[in-house]
Structure formats: structure tokens, C-alpha cells
Structure 1
Amino acid sequence: MPPVDPLALELARMVEELLAHEQPEPVLQDVVNRARTLLSGAHHVSVMAHDGRGNGFASLAASDDLAGRCDTLMADLDEGPGVLDHDPEPVHRSGDLAADGRWPRWSAAAHDLGIRSVLSIRLVGQGKHLGSLNLYSEDAFAFGDDDDIELAVLFAGHAAAALGAVTEISGLRAALESRHVIGVAQGILMERYHLGVNGAFEVLKRFSSVHNLKLRDVATELVDTGAMPGADEPPLSMT
């Protein structure tokens, strides 16, 4: 039996531990902390992506304040190695930000913060672009070794796979929880107003639409308090 590659074993263990998280947020924080420990030259690490609200890019997790500030500069300037919209390349490296002309404003600002090198790797999981893993170094010409870049790309691939899986599982769990609470709310309305299943659902849906509230929020309020959110009259009186 061939010996087990220690790196492969370490990455497999990392994925197993990342998958133990139930939500994406702790996965992201775990990823940046592990990257700073495992990847040579990575003094500051972050993950950034679209904020999901149409407001551009945002830092989703950072190992420290400096990494977060570098991400914020990218988002504010709409420029930098982690701004994925402008360049589909999976890996961007700069060993000398002072002389790098690809992102002149961001490079100058990051250099002023003490960053000399950067390695940014696109995170792809479950067939979707999840964001970018940004490694910031205070050393000039960091991340110049092919083996270091290969390890960082391998790390990012494993991290993205775990993040994608947890995100999907979290979404499925949230959907199941929504269905459950809506079902309980339907039961309350059915018993209280002698409605059928479809009639109770229509009441919830109409209330949600009229008051511009999410259906799950309406159902949760009814289950928790016995009343519709902000309703002064029984829901059947809605017109």
C-alpha cells in the first residue's frame, strides 16, 4: 500500500472539519484562518464576493482588520485582483504592487497599507462562482514559487467544495424549515377559521402580498404569537 501524502491527508481533514459547520459564515472564517496558517507568505487572508443585494463586492470573512481593509478598497474602487467581474482568470498574482499597472489605484492604496504582494484565487463550488480567496503578504515577491501557488490553488479548490456543499445544505435546511413553519401556520388558521389546507395557504399568501412581507415571516409571527404581524383584524377580513 503506497504511503499517504501528508498534504492530501491534511486537506481531506480540513474538508471534513469544514463540512461539520451548519452555515456558510463559520466555514468562511475557518477557511481564512486555516489559509494564513497553511499557506506560505499569507500574512493576511480574506474571502470576498458579491454581497447578494446588488451592491457590488464585499468582504465576507477576513483574518484581521488589514485584510478587510484591502477588500473594502477593492469594493470601493471596483478594481483589484478579487473583482471577478472584470477578469475571468482563476488566479491573479502580483509580487510587486508598487510596480503593478493592472490595478493602479488599488495597488497604490494597498501598498500604502503595507501590502507588497497578493495572490487571489477564484473560488468555484457546486458549479458556481462563490467569490475569491485573497492572500496578502507584507513581503515583496511573495507567492513566486510554483509549488506555493499550486498549494494555494489546491487549498482554494478544497475550501470551495466544502463551502459550496455547506451553502447548498444550509439552503435546503432553510427551505425545509420554511415549509414546516408555514404548515404549522396553516394548521392554526384551519382550526381557528375552519378553513381547508388551500384556503389557509391563500390567507397567508394574501396577507404576505398585501403587507409586503415574506411568507415565512408571516407564518413565523403567527406561530410564535398567535397573530399576524401588525394585524388589527382577523386575516379573513382582508380585502
Structure 2
Amino acid sequence: MDSSTFFSQMALDLHDEPTAERTIERIAEYARIATSCDDAGIMLVHARNQIETAAATSQRVGESHNLQIIHDQGPCLDAIEGEAVYISSDVASDDRWTKWGPAVAELGIRSALSIRLETRSRHYGSLNLYADRLGAFDDDDIAVGTIFVRHAAVAIANAHNEAGLQVAIDARKLIGQAQGILMERFDLDAERSFEFLRRQSQEHNVKLRYVAEWVVEHRCAPNATFKVPEIASDRSKVGKV
């Protein structure tokens, strides 16, 4: 199969995947095939010490990611915070990662290539390719890997946007239900019922949707006194919705 056919087929397969998670898994699989490496994985970084192995073609990929957290060094992490691409022809003797390199070499990994996974507005993680042989990666592999991180970034960004949109939709529905309850019980119009919810949100320093949720949950107890749920109190520090 020539390269144009390969990438055309890949694009069709990725489009047909039902979830972002499965799309990312297929990206790792395709990246391994396209670069003829032995293993591939996608690391998502939420904080320097909080990572998620979103895709891995073998167990040692996850172990490699974990070793970077243990030693607080490695190309996958550096690709998030430093240069966009890190390549190592011999991880065991690479003086950039003197702890991670020898440790991951014990897993049979000799070469590594990490490419930043990002959109124009956000860094998500990295695509990481591993090989059992020395000097396995070159500029062609970087070019091919760059194609895959673009596909992965789009899949992740779409998943985040869809999740955020669903949260917003659910919140609006909940607020609408709470308004309906208040309008019926206290003979309020839509504007005054919303103002009541907003005032409770401000006075108790919680998100508006938590006030609405409380109203809906206590609709059969008209004499109940509003009490901030513990989880709502904790999350209110993040900001209003």
C-alpha cells in the first residue's frame, strides 16, 4: 500500500470510530505502522504529576510514561513544556534524561520520538514512539508523526468541546426546571424566578446549577431550607457557571 492510499484509508477509519477514545487508540496503532516502530502511545498531561495514557500499543508504553512521572523527566513530558519534538537515538546514554533513559532501557526500549500534541490554543500531551533498535527515528518519522498528532489533537479538542457543550445544555435544562417549580409554587414570572436562583447562588457562593439542582431535588419539600452540598461548596472555588 502506497503512502497516499495508507493515509486516505486511515482518515476514513478514524472518521468511522464512534468515540474520541477509540479514535486516539487507532491513531497510536496507525502511527506504529507508519513509522515501523515497535510501540506507540499517546500521553495526556493534566499537570506535571498527573498524566493519562490515553492510548498504548503495549503495556510497556504505560510503564514508560509512569517512569517519567517517577523521575520527573523524559521526552514525553518535555514535549509538552519545551520543544515540540524530542528524538533520542539511544535512551540509555542520553544525558538529557539520565534517570528515565536507563530505566526505560530495561524495558527493551532503545530509541524514542516524542511529538507535542496540541491545537493552536492548548497543549494536550504528546505522541510517543518507541523502538527496540538504536537510531530508529529520522526526519521522515518526525514528518509522519506530525500528521498523526494533528489528527489526535482534533479528536481530543472535539471531545472536550462536546463534553463542555453537554454540561452547558444539562445546566440550562436544570435551571429551566427549577424556574418552573418556583414559578408554579410562588406565582413568579420567569425573570423573578431566575433572579431568585441567581441571588441564592451569589449569597452562598455556589454555581447556579447547584442551586437549581437543590430546588428540583426538594420540590416536594416546600419548607426545606437551602443548604450548600459539600461537593458544590468545593467546586464553587473554580468559578461560576
Show structure 1 runs of 4+ deviating over 6 A: none
Pairwise mapping of residues 50-199 of structure 1 onto structure 2 (< 5 A)? Answer: 50-51=46-47, 56-63=49-56, 64-84=58-78, 87-144=81-138, 146-199=139-192
CA contact (8 A) 1:181 1:220 kept: yes
The yes-or-no answer on 1:28 pairing with 2:28 is no
Q: Which amino acid aligns with 1:45?
A: G
* Closer/same/farther in 2, CA of residues 5 and 187 from structure 1, 3 Å limit: same
CA distance in 1, matches of 2:107, 2:207: 43
Report the aligned-residue RMSD.
3.3
Structure with greater contact order relative to length (CA < 8 Å, sep ≥ 6): 1
Shift of residue 232, structure 1, vs aligned partner: 8.0
Task: Return 5+ residue gaps in structure 1 as ranges.
Answer: none
SS of the residue aligned with 1:5? Answer: helix
SS of the residue aligned with 1:130? Answer: strand
What is residue 6 of structure 2 aligned with on the other side?
7
Task: Give TM-score, length-normalised by structure 2.
Answer: 0.75
CA distance in 1, matches of 2:3, 2:115: 27
CA distance in 1, matches of 2:130, 2:223: 55
Task: Return 5+ residue gaps in structure 2 as ranges.
Answer: 228-241
Which shows bigger deviation, 204-213 or 79-88? 204-213
* Closer/same/farther in 2, CA of residues 85 and 45 from structure 1, 3 Å limit: closer
CA contact (8 A) 2:24 2:155 kept: no
Shift of residue 91, structure 1, vs aligned partner: 1.2
Task: Give TM-score, length-normalised by structure 1.
Answer: 0.75
CA distance in 2, matches of 1:235, 1:197: 20
CA contact (8 A) 2:34 2:144 kept: no
Which shows bigger deviation, 89-98 or 109-118? 109-118
- Paired residues, what number? 224
Q: Provide Cα deviations, 1:54-103, integer angstroms capped at 9, x if missing partner.
A: x6441241324321221122223221112247753211111211111111
* Closer/same/farther in 2, CA of residues 122 and 85 from structure 1, 3 Å limit: closer
Q: Which amino acid aligns with 2:190?
A: V
Q: Provide Cα deviations, 1:14-35, integer angstroms capped at 9, x if missing partner.
A: 44235x53xx544434433443
1:49 to 45, 48, 55: 45
Which shows bigger deviation, 127-136 or 165-174? 165-174
CA distance in 2, matches of 1:235, 1:199: 18
Percent of pairs identical after alignment?
35
